[in-house]
Amino acid sequence: MPELPDIVVYLEALRPRILGETLSAVRIASPFLVRTVDPPLERAVARRVTGLSRLGKRIVIALEPDFYLAIHLMVAGRLRWRPSGAALPGRIGLGALDFPNGALLITEAGTRRRAALHLVRGAAALAALDRGGLEVLGAAPADFRAALRRENHTLKRALTDPSILSGIGNAYSDEILHQAKLSPFALTGSLSDAELDRLLAATGATLEAWIARLRTAAGSGFPEKVTAFRDAMAVHGRYRKPCPVCGSPVQRVRYAENEVNYCATCQTGGRVYADRALSRLLREDWPRSLEEWEERLGSGGSVESGSSSEGPAQEG
Position 301 scores a pLDDT of 53
Position 206 scores a pLDDT of 98
Q: Does domain 4-127 have CATH number 3.30.70.270?
A: no
Q: Does domain 141-298 have CATH number 1.10.8.50?
A: yes
Give the global pTM: 0.87
**Domain limits, the chain:** 4-127, 141-298
**Mind listing the pLDDT tens digit of every residue in the chain (316 residues)?**
899 999 999 999 999 999 999 999 999 999 999 999 999 999 999 999 999 999 999 999 999 999 999 999 999 999 999 999 999 998 999 999 999 999 999 999 988 889 999 999 999 999 999 999 999 999 999 999 999 999 999 999 999 999 999 999 999 999 999 999 999 999 999 999 999 999 999 999 999 999 999 999 999 999 999 998 999 999 999 999 999 999 999 999 987 678 899 999 999 999 888 765 544 434 444 455 556 656 766 665 545 543 333 333 222 2
Position 22 scores a pLDDT of 98
- For residue 37, the one-letter residue type is V
- Helix 193-218 to helix 4-18 angle (10° resolution) is 40
Position 112 scores a pLDDT of 85
Closest alpha carbon to 260 in 203, 163, 186, 196? 186
